[in-house]
Structure 1
Amino acid sequence: MEQLILDYTNKLQQALSMAAMRQVPVLAAALRDAWRTKRSVFLCGNGGSAGNAVHLANDLLYGVGLNNRSGGLRVEALSANPAVLTCLANDLGYDHIYSEQLRVKAQADDVLVVLSGSGNSANVVKALEVGNQIGMKTFAILGFTGGLCRSLAQHPIHFEMDDMQIAEDLQLMIGHLCMQWLHANPVQSVVASVSSEAAK
């Protein structure tokens, strides 16, 4: 067990020193702009990444806005509603469980964050394709080779690590970094600013 702990922490430290970390401020800035302009943020993934999407949606909704009068971000984990997921999987196919939700809910300049180890799962690939078609700002936090998502995301955050658990840890760490930075750098929304000016 001691050797496993050493190997695991070494791999995590190696990942955190990769060039991919330079893309984290780009994601944080996009999230902050979405917060300011009241745009929506959507997250999705499969398995542990689906769980991470739900976790980070909570952090961006509540943790970011804690002690902030304007509240947190308008954010949704597309993996969170089992009725919607099973309906779309049954009627359209599992490949469409995220892309169809985006077709209905998303608008241009909203933010999509795909979480994936391989970057090759058809449902997240289609989510990025549709997000790009809509005009969303698309990000993907990826491991392994990055797969198809690496070329589809406008802003891939790719860690070339052949370890699914490390890949999933990095998803949460990047989300938590963004959350803490946003909490420390709150915004006044455009809507609130306009209302304030109109009241004068």
Structure 2
Amino acid sequence: MSFQPQLDEAIAVLQASVALTPAIDEITALAADALLAGHTLYTAGNGGSAADALHLAEELIGRYRGNRRPLAAICLNADTGALTCIANDFGYDEVFARQLAALGKPGDVLVVFSTSGNSPNILNVLRTARAKGVISIALLGKDGGSARTLADHALIVPSNNTARIQEVHTLILHAICEEVEQRLANVAAGM
């Protein structure tokens, strides 16, 4: 199979995603505000979306482009001990919610990645975020699923193709990192 059809589809999804720019700007500012105010950003996802959740958390703790202070970010799908304990004792649907119930505080931010928006463990962690006063951002695809109404901020990539949805999710997580690092650079420069 030729690469060209995939490239054409990716270009079409990116062009359709231009309409999401105001919403992306809003969530990147929200995440940056919380992090720079000393709050924690939590991430979660399943499968390829778990990799996106890890990616965002590690960029914030480590660095994205330049050296800067580390930022509080925790990926809820990264701790295999917690995941297996919770899954064994409470069921897989609770693996993220139970962690956020223990750790989340009002003003913190949760960013979930889900191409369908219907994974029970994602829906449960969004409910927990609401109960704890944690601001929730859901990066979704397809029709947004049930997550679109549970999240404080739902961003739905205009595609039904999981690969294309995840590609745009990667752009958005990088946009969050860009916003944070630009703000930190401005603070360091006295702006």
Q: TM-score if structure 2 supplies the norm length? A: 0.90
Q: 1:180 Cα deviation (Å)?
A: 2.0
Q: 1:184 Cα deviation (Å)?
A: 2.0
Match of 2:139 among 138, 141, 145: 141
Give the AA of the match of 1:77.
C
How much is the aligned-residue C-alpha RMSD, in angstroms? 1.8
Q: 1:75 Cα deviation (Å)?
A: 0.2
Q: Is contact 1:143-1:161 (8 Å) kept?
A: yes
Q: 1:64 Cα deviation (Å)?
A: 4.6
Q: Is contact 2:106-2:134 (8 Å) kept?
A: yes
The equivalent of 2:27 in structure 1 is: 27
* Range 96-105 or range 54-63, more displaced: 54-63
The equivalent of 1:78 in structure 2 is: 76
Q: Is contact 1:41-1:75 (8 Å) kept?
A: yes
| Residue 159 (structure 2) pairs with residue 156 (structure 1) | no
2: CA distance, partners of 1:147 / 1:115:
12
Q: 1:173 Cα deviation (Å)?
A: 1.2
Structure 1 or 2, whichever has the larger Rg, is 1
Count of aligned pairs: 185
Alignment of 1:11-160 (within 5 A): 11-17=9-15, 18=17, 19-64=19-64, 66-68=66-68, 71-160=69-158
The equivalent of 2:179 in structure 1 is: 181
Give the AA of the match of 1:79.
N
SS in 2 for 1:38: coil
Q: Is contact 2:32-2:176 (8 Å) kept?
A: no
Q: 1:185 Cα deviation (Å)?
A: 2.1
Q: 1:65 Cα deviation (Å)?
A: 8.2
Q: Is contact 2:107-2:134 (8 Å) kept?
A: yes
Deviations 1:56-92 (A, max 9, x none): 1111122258433xx1320011000111101000000
Give the AA of the match of 2:30.
A
Q: 1:126 Cα deviation (Å)?
A: 0.4
Q: Is contact 1:112-1:139 (8 Å) kept?
A: yes
Q: CA distance change for structure 1 residues 8 and 56 in 2, over 3 Å: closer, same or farther?
A: same
Q: 1:52 Cα deviation (Å)?
A: 1.2
Unaligned runs of 5+ in 1: 189-200
2: CA distance, partners of 1:128 / 1:10:
34
Q: TM-score if structure 1 supplies the norm length? A: 0.86
SS in 2 for 1:182: helix
1: CA distance, partners of 2:156 / 2:65:
28
SS in 2 for 1:118: coil
% same residue: 30
Q: CA distance change for structure 1 residues 24 and 72 in 2, over 3 Å: closer, same or farther?
A: farther
Unaligned runs of 5+ in 2: none
Give the AA of the match of 2:71.
L
SS in 2 for 1:56: helix
Q: Is contact 2:117-2:141 (8 Å) kept?
A: yes
